[in-house]
Amino acid sequence: MSLVGKKFPNISIDAMSEMGDDLKINILEEATKNQQKVLLFWYPKDFTFVCPTELHAFQEALPEFEKRNTKVIGASCDTNEVHFAWLNTARDNGGIEGVTYPILADTHRQLANILGIVDQEFEFDEEGNEFFTGSNVTYRATYLVDETGKIFHESVNDMPLGRNVKEYLRLIDAYTHVQKFGEVCPANWEEGKDAMKADRQSTAEYLAAHKN
């Protein structure tokens, strides 16, 4: 069930800072109390393969998110201790040394289960007994939360599929444009391009002006 348009769950989760500090982070409060947008991205496991490429990609784009008053937060079901070890492992050795945003440690899967993003599958044997077959880690889920705590974007990738970080910058730009001007953003909209009023005439005019 989609959470878009709903408030982000009001729950505090353990987290690790780049300095090795144990934190408690509440995404809803991060957005509302600090009047900022939040990008929360989940990845399956520390010390894996696609995951460090994503964490470094978000780190490299961090100045662009900060320009847009957006806080970036990573998340997995690993412990704070594992996060700290990964943060202290060199990039050339598959680590995430140099990452400066906090990372949630949802070891009890409290938030991940509320969001419905954990790979938890159950099957039955010939005698009807239920048994667990999932990996019990999260998919690559991403949430964009606005200054009121409302989720305005969510997406979930299967584990082998890395994200396009630039797309989240585009989505933040589009949502900010809607907030500021009350216009809607058509397909493939980017900052500086034409937006539209939410009526049929504007749609017709836009389509006429943007024929291939």
9 is written with which tokens?
A: 């769950």
Please state which CATH number belongs to domain 12-164: 3.40.30.10
Token pair 């050795």 in the structure block, residue = 93
Extents of the domains making up the chain:
12-164
Residues 28-83: tens digit of each pLDDT: 999 999 999 999 999 999 999 999 999 999 999 999 999 999 999 999 999 999 99
Q: For 102, what's the count of Cα atoms within 13 Å in the CB-facing half-sphere?
A: 21
pTM: 0.93
Q: Are 98 and 34 in contact (CB under 8 A)?
A: no
φ, ψ at 82 (rounded to 5°): -70, -40
H-type alpha helices, the chain: 27-34, 50-60, 62-67, 80-87, 110-115, 165-181, 200-209
51 flagged as catalytic: yes
Residues 156-183: tens digit of each pLDDT: 999 999 999 999 999 999 999 999 999 9
Kindly tell me if the per-residue pLDDT of 130 is higher than 80. Answer: no
From the list 28, 39, 51, 171, the catalytic residue is 51
Q: Are 200 and 189 in contact (CB under 8 A)?
A: no
